Amino acid sequence: MVSSAPVAALWRLRSYLRPYRFQLITMLVLALAATSAEFVVPLIIKAVIDGPIARHQRGALLPLGAAAIALGAAFSVMNLVRRWIQGVAVADIEKAIRDDLYAHLQRLEPAFHDGWQSGQLLSRSTTDLSSIRRFAGFGIVFLVTSVYQFAAVVTLLTRMNWWLGLATGAMFVPVLAFCLRFEHSYKVLSRRVQDQEGDLTTLVEEAAAGVRVLKALGRAPEAAIRHAAQARLVRDTQVAKARLLGGFWSVLDLIPNIAIAMILVLGTLAVSHHALTLGGLVAFITLALQLVWPIEALGYILASGEEAATAAQRVLEIFDTPPTIHSPERIEAPVPAPSASIRSAEKAPAPAPAPAPAPAPAPASAPARHIGYLRFEHASFRYPGATEPVLRDIDLRVARGETLVLAGATGCGKTTLLRLVPRLADVTGGRVTLGGTDVRDIPLPELRTAVGCAFEEATLFSASVRENVTFGAERASEEEVEAALTAAQARFAYDLPWGLDTRIGEQGMALSGGQRQRVALARAILARPDVLILDDPLSALDTRTEERVTAALHSVLAGTTALVVAHRPSTVALADRVALLSGGVIAAVGTHRSLLASVPAYRDLMTMEGVRS
């Protein structure tokens, strides 16, 4: 669980600072040294006024002036080096957090992403991490140097004149209570505006991705109204935040000015009573002016600190979400099933146990040979929070090289059943086995290499056709790429302006729906998986193109275990067997012809789909 305190959330990210502790320590040492150099300059001014000027010793001015110039130069060099080290270190820290956040998002199952707005994830990965970087780079430095500068200046002022120094320090005591009040109010507004910006990002992303739908349905004005309303909400919160911050800074500016005015009056009295020299008064005022920056920096520190703390809280909401689908560290060798038939595999006697000691299981990194013998053993699945399971007691066997088509009405659980094989979701009852091994015992990278998928909603990336097709087989040759495109009837790619190197835009929007499906199908074919999962991959194709793809898939699927969701009767022609899914259970299994003859529900379903197609 994420801590309710934003500061505690920010503290939890301290581990990202450890690899850069040397740079951070060097950065702080340089900052403190540069700040110390500033203190010495007023003392030199005091020495000049009370010494060479008061005593008319012009010869002593040169070394004191040279010392002041040297301190100024040293101050500039130290700040330059400190800012360079600081910029590199905090950029690397931000990158490290962003890399880990991205990796964690990839580990989280699709159900997590279904429940989150993409804009909220984007704002946490960009804006929030930038807030953390700014505080790690500048806020921490300002905090340390401001505390040091305030304490050192008050100490020096007290040594010059104890009662005037204490009076000056006391002027800033009310600032602490004022800062605590500001911190509470700013924390609320900071979290509110970050959440609202995430919602605004979601609206912008949805409008950009769905621009064709908005234009086609004439809903662009309504989308603009929604965007304007959310943008106005963000603007109002930002204005309230700026108003609070402006009032806070104006008070912080006022207090040092009152202190300087008080110092001028009391300091003049001290000089007139010989409690302070004229040079001492000038140095006292100069040092007192150095208290203005720590006080003003306090506003920046608190503001950036609260933004970073609430940003850390939002980022940890993702980090603290544990993946529910885990990859096992080790796996035992799978039990191969004879290829003759499923029945003979079930009746085959178990192999004799190996003599002790038993061999150690293979490490996850070692490649295992999974054959395409797929089985659902009383598998069930229930979505979190649902009262009824989507799938109940599914018992299916798919032999190696067999093509099984899943048929059923919309919403009966076909896609959910497919997702159980590559573990895009995990069964809540029973198990799914591949080559005799529970898929939950196979390392995820190995499982998802063995199982290839093509979904109805073809997901393509903002890259070239070649990069999309070879996404799962980067070392594929030109001949293999061409064969996969040919099998998927996607040779249109060669006629694009730059052939296979043509970039197809975000989500492949430069292509039609049918073209996107064929490119995605070619990608799945090229991966040459042991098991091919096809979720209605031909739904966007016209009848003639579908026939050509179906004919090509007959040869492609030879020797490959395939689990296919199909709605059109023509696609069912791919099947060696058909399983009818109804009400979350397998209602019937058989060939297409036998089900048409003996199962009225299947016959009605195919008749309806045939009319639609």
Q: pLDDT digit string (tens) for 427-436?
A: 999 999 998 8
Its pTM stands at 0.70
- CA angle 160/162/167 to nearest 5° reads 115
Helix H, strand E, coil C: the string for 212-230 is HHHHHCCCHHHHHHHHHHH
User: Rounded to whole angstroms, how far apart are CA atoms 287 and 291?
Assistant: 7
Note the pLDDT of residue 363: 37
Domain 6-319 has CATH 1.10.600.10: no
Tens digit of pLDDT for each residue in 275-295? 777 877 788 888 877 777 777
Is the pLDDT at 360 greater than 50? The verdict is no
Instruction: Name beta bridge partners: 404.
Output: 563, 577
Residue 277: left if φ>0, alpha if ψ -120 to 50, beta else—which one?
A: beta
Note the pLDDT of residue 355: 38
- The DSSP code sequence of 399-425 is -TT-EEEEE--TTSSHHHHHHTTTTSS
User: Rounded to whole angstroms, how far apart are CA atoms 173 and 183?
Assistant: 16
**Dihedral sign of CA atoms 603, 608, 609, 613 in order:** positive
The residue to which tokens 């022609």 are assigned:
573
Note the pLDDT of residue 544: 75
Average pLDDT over residues 152-162: 83
User: Rounded to whole angstroms, how far apart are CA atoms 56 and 401?
Assistant: 105
Per-domain boundaries in the chain: 6-319, 374-612
Note the pLDDT of residue 540: 65
Average pLDDT, the chain: 80
Structure tokens at 400: 């190696």
The residue to which tokens 């963000």 are assigned:
234
Judge if 6-319 and 374-612 fold alike in CATH terms: no
Structure tokens at 219: 């809903």
Residue type, 540: A
373: DSSP letter:
-
Tens digit of pLDDT for each residue in 11-65? 888 889 888 888 888 988 998 898 888 888 888 877 777 777 767 667 667 787 7
Structure tokens at 97: 């957090």
Using pLDDT thresholds of 50, 70 and 90, give the confidence band for residue 362.
very low
Query: Cβ distance 467 to 419 under 8 Å?
Result: no
- E strands in 316-359: 330-331
Residue type, 605: L
Residue type, 485: L
**Poorest-pLDDT segment among 132-141, 160-169, 484-493:** 160-169
> Structurally, what CATH architecture does the domain formed by 374-612 represent?
3-Layer(aba) Sandwich (3.40)
Q: What are phi and psi of 534, to 5 degrees?
A: -125, 115
